[in-house]
Chain A
Amino acid sequence: MTTTPDVACDLFIIGEGLAGMSSALFAVNRGLRVCQVGKSYPLGFHSGLLDLLCVNPAQASSNASDPWDAMDYLKKTNPKHPYAKIHKQTIRTAFHEVKTFLAAQGLFYEDLAEKNSDVATSIGTLKRSYMIPLSMQASVQALKKKWPVLFVGVNGLREFSATQIKETLSGTWPGLNAVTLDFPFSRPGEKTCEHLARALDSEKNRALFANIIRPHLNGEKAVGLPPILGVHHSTEALRDMEHKLGIPVFEIPCLPPSVPGLRLKEAFEQGLDKKGRVRLSNFKIDSLSRNNTGEFFIRLSTDCLTKTILAKGIVLSSGRFMGKGLVADRQKIKEAVFNFPVVQPEGRSTWFQKLFFDDQGHAINKAGIETDSFQRPINDHGDIIFDNVFAAGSILAHQDWAREKSGSGIAMSSGLNAVNAFIQSHHVFQDIRKTGTGM
Chain B
Amino acid sequence: MNIGDITMRKKFKTQVLIVGGGVTGTSVLRDLTLRGIHCVLVESKDMNAGASGANHGLLHSGARYAVSDPEAALECRIESEILKQTLPQCIENTGGLFVAVKGDDENFIADFPHYCSKAKILAEKISLDHARELEPYLSGDIIAAYRVNDASIDPFGLSQQNIKNATHAGALVFYHSRILSFGLVNGNIVSASLENNLTGEMFNIETDMVVNAAGAWAAQVGHKAGVNIPMTYSKGTLLVTGQRIAHRVVNRLRPPGDADIIVPGGTVSILGTTSLRISNPDDVCPTVPETDMIIDEGSKLIPKLRTERYIRAYAGVRPLVGKSGENGDRVLSRGFSLIDHSLDGVGNFMTITGGKLTTCRLMAEKTSDLVCVHLGISQPCRTRDIPLEHAPECRWTTPGASPKHWFQKTDSHEVLLCECEMISTRIIDELSQSMTDEGQPFSLVSLGLRSRLGKGPCQGAFCVFRVTAHLYTKKWLNRTMGLCHMKDFIQSRFKGIRTVIMGPTLAQIELQEAVQCGLFNLEQN
Residues of chain A having any CB pair with chain B under 8 Å: 45, 47, 49, 51, 55, 61, 63, 121-128, 153, 155-156, 158-164, 167-168, 170-171, 180, 187-190, 253, 255-256, 320-322, 324, 326-330, 347-349, 351-352, 354-359, 362, 364-365, 401-403, 405, 407
Extra 18 A-B pairs, beta carbons < 8 Å, given A124-B482, A161-B468: A45-B511, A47-B518, A63-B524, A156-B413, A158-B415, A161-B469, A161-B473, A163-B475, A164-B468, A167-B478, A168-B483, A171-B479, A188-B412, A188-B413, A255-B462, A321-B504, A322-B514, A356-B516
Q: Which residues of A contact B515 (CB under 8 A)?
A: 255-256
Q: Is B34 part of the contact surface with A, judged by Cβ < 8 Å?
A: no
Q: Is B477 part of the contact surface with A, judged by Cβ < 8 Å?
A: yes
Bound complex: CA A180 to CA B470 (Å): 11
- Contact assessment for A253 and B473 in the assembled complex, using a CB-CB cutoff below 8 Å: no
B494 interface neighbour in A161, A255, A356, Cβ under 8 Å: A356
B518 interface neighbour in A188, A329, A402, Cβ under 8 Å: A402
- Contact assessment for A365 and B513 in the assembled complex, using a CB-CB cutoff below 8 Å: yes
Q: Is B490 part of the contact surface with A, judged by Cβ < 8 Å?
A: yes
Q: Is B288 part of the contact surface with A, judged by Cβ < 8 Å?
A: yes
Q: Which residues of B contact A352 (CB under 8 A)?
A: 498, 501
Bound complex: CA A63 to CA B522 (Å): 13
- Contact assessment for A321 and B507 in the assembled complex, using a CB-CB cutoff below 8 Å: yes
Bound complex: CA A155 to CA B469 (Å): 11
Bound complex: CA A108 to CA B503 (Å): 39
A124 interface neighbour in B483, B506, B514, Cβ under 8 Å: B483
- Contact assessment for B491 and A355 in the assembled complex, using a CB-CB cutoff below 8 Å: yes
- Contact assessment for B506 and A158 in the assembled complex, using a CB-CB cutoff below 8 Å: no
Q: Which residues of B contact A128 (CB under 8 A)?
A: 521
CB under 8 Å from chain A, chain B span 386-419: 412-413, 415-417
Residue on A nearest B472 in the bound complex, by CB: A164
Q: Is B6 part of the contact surface with A, judged by Cβ < 8 Å?
A: no
- Contact assessment for B465 and A123 in the assembled complex, using a CB-CB cutoff below 8 Å: yes
Residue on B nearest A356 in the bound complex, by CB: B494
B418 to chain A, nearest CB (A): 10
Q: Is B287 part of the contact surface with A, judged by Cβ < 8 Å?
A: yes
A127 interface neighbour in B415, B494, B506, B521, Cβ under 8 Å: B521
Q: Is B292 part of the contact surface with A, judged by Cβ < 8 Å?
A: yes
Q: Which residues of B contact A347 (CB under 8 A)?
A: 288
Bound complex: CA A127 to CA B482 (Å): 17
- Contact string, B264-308, partner A, CB cutoff 8 A, digits 1/0? 000000000000000000000101110010010000000000000
B516 to chain A, nearest CB (A): 8
Q: Which residues of A contact B499 (CB under 8 A)?
A: 348
Q: Is B520 part of the contact surface with A, judged by Cβ < 8 Å?
A: yes
**Known A163-B475, A256-B515: A357·B415 in contact at CB below 8 Å:** no
CB under 8 Å from chain A, chain B span 404-453: 412-413, 415-417
Q: Which residues of B contact A362 (CB under 8 A)?
A: 513
A286 to chain B, nearest CB (A): 21
Residue on A nearest B473 in the bound complex, by CB: A161
- Contact assessment for A357 and B466 in the assembled complex, using a CB-CB cutoff below 8 Å: no
Q: Which residues of A contact B5 (CB under 8 A)?
A: none
- Contact assessment for B521 and A356 in the assembled complex, using a CB-CB cutoff below 8 Å: no
- Contact assessment for A330 and B292 in the assembled complex, using a CB-CB cutoff below 8 Å: yes
**Known A47-B518, A121-B519, A402-B518: A189·B415 in contact at CB below 8 Å:** yes
Q: Is B35 part of the contact surface with A, judged by Cβ < 8 Å?
A: no
- Contact assessment for A359 and B523 in the assembled complex, using a CB-CB cutoff below 8 Å: yes
Q: Which residues of B contact A47 (CB under 8 A)?
A: 518-519
B424 to chain A, nearest CB (A): 10
A305 to chain B, nearest CB (A): 26
Residue on B nearest A165 in the bound complex, by CB: B472
Q: Which residues of A contact B292 (CB under 8 A)?
A: 330, 348
- Contact assessment for A349 and B288 in the assembled complex, using a CB-CB cutoff below 8 Å: yes
Bound complex: CA A379 to CA B495 (Å): 35
Q: List 23 A-B contacts (CB under 8 A).
A: A51-B518, A121-B520, A125-B521, A127-B521, A156-B415, A158-B417, A159-B469, A161-B473, A163-B472, A164-B472, A164-B473, A187-B412, A188-B412, A322-B510, A324-B507, A327-B503, A329-B503, A330-B292, A347-B288, A357-B490, A402-B517, A405-B521, A407-B514
Residue on B nearest A326 in the bound complex, by CB: B506
Q: Is B487 part of the contact surface with A, judged by Cβ < 8 Å?
A: yes
Number of A-B contacts (CB under 8 A): 160
Q: Which residues of A contact B475 (CB under 8 A)?
A: 163
B509 to chain A, nearest CB (A): 8
Q: Which residues of B contact A256 (CB under 8 A)?
A: 511, 515
Residue on A nearest B493 in the bound complex, by CB: A356
A356 interface neighbour in B415, B416, B490, Cβ under 8 Å: B490
- Contact assessment for B478 and A125 in the assembled complex, using a CB-CB cutoff below 8 Å: no
- Contact assessment for A159 and B465 in the assembled complex, using a CB-CB cutoff below 8 Å: yes
**Known A322-B507, A351-B501: A253·B519 in contact at CB below 8 Å:** yes
A359 to chain B, nearest CB (A): 7
Q: Which residues of B contact A167 (CB under 8 A)?
A: 472, 477-480, 482
Q: Is B502 part of the contact surface with A, judged by Cβ < 8 Å?
A: yes
Residue of A155, A355, A359 contacting most chain B CB atoms (<10 Å):
A355
Q: Which residues of B contact A159 (CB under 8 A)?
A: 465-466, 469
- Contact assessment for A125 and B415 in the assembled complex, using a CB-CB cutoff below 8 Å: no
Bound complex: CA A87 to CA B468 (Å): 43
- Contact assessment for A158 and B501 in the assembled complex, using a CB-CB cutoff below 8 Å: no
A348 interface neighbour in B502, B504, B518, B522, Cβ under 8 Å: B502
Bound complex: CA A319 to CA B360 (Å): 51
Q: Which residues of A contact B287 (CB under 8 A)?
A: 349
Residue of B470, B504, B517 contacting most chain A CB atoms (<10 Å):
B517
Q: Is B107 part of the contact surface with A, judged by Cβ < 8 Å?
A: no
- Contact assessment for A125 and B520 in the assembled complex, using a CB-CB cutoff below 8 Å: yes
Bound complex: CA A252 to CA B469 (Å): 14
Q: Is B525 part of the contact surface with A, judged by Cβ < 8 Å?
A: yes
- Contact assessment for A164 and B482 in the assembled complex, using a CB-CB cutoff below 8 Å: yes
Q: Is B370 part of the contact surface with A, judged by Cβ < 8 Å?
A: no
- Contact assessment for B517 and A321 in the assembled complex, using a CB-CB cutoff below 8 Å: no
- Contact assessment for B416 and A190 in the assembled complex, using a CB-CB cutoff below 8 Å: yes
Residue on A nearest B475 in the bound complex, by CB: A163
A306 to chain B, nearest CB (A): 27
Q: Which residues of A contact B514 (CB under 8 A)?
A: 45, 322, 402, 407
Bound complex: CA A349 to CA B501 (Å): 10
Q: Is B190 part of the contact surface with A, judged by Cβ < 8 Å?
A: no
Residue of A61, A167, A347, A405 contacting most chain B CB atoms (<10 Å):
A167
Bound complex: CA A359 to CA B525 (Å): 11
Bound complex: CA A63 to CA B517 (Å): 13
B282 to chain A, nearest CB (A): 15
**Known A125-B525, A158-B417, A356-B494: A402·B479 in contact at CB below 8 Å:** no
B480 interface neighbour in A156, A168, A320, Cβ under 8 Å: A168
Q: Is B87 part of the contact surface with A, judged by Cβ < 8 Å?
A: no
Q: Is B82 part of the contact surface with A, judged by Cβ < 8 Å?
A: no
B2 to chain A, nearest CB (A): 34
- Contact assessment for A125 and B522 in the assembled complex, using a CB-CB cutoff below 8 Å: yes
A343 to chain B, nearest CB (A): 16
B118 to chain A, nearest CB (A): 43
Q: Which residues of B contact A160 (CB under 8 A)?
A: 469
Residue on B nearest A330 in the bound complex, by CB: B502
- Contact assessment for B412 and A125 in the assembled complex, using a CB-CB cutoff below 8 Å: no
Q: Is B486 part of the contact surface with A, judged by Cβ < 8 Å?
A: yes
Q: Which residues of B contact A162 (CB under 8 A)?
A: 473
- Contact assessment for A354 and B468 in the assembled complex, using a CB-CB cutoff below 8 Å: no
Residue on B nearest A407 in the bound complex, by CB: B518
Bound complex: CA A190 to CA B413 (Å): 8
Q: Which residues of A contact B518 (CB under 8 A)?
A: 47, 51, 401-402, 405, 407
**Known A170-B479, A405-B518: A357·B469 in contact at CB below 8 Å:** no
A357 to chain B, nearest CB (A): 4
Residue on A nearest B412 in the bound complex, by CB: A188
Q: Which residues of A contact B466 (CB under 8 A)?
A: 158-159, 255
Bound complex: CA A407 to CA B498 (Å): 24
Residue on B nearest A162 in the bound complex, by CB: B473
Bound complex: CA A161 to CA B482 (Å): 12
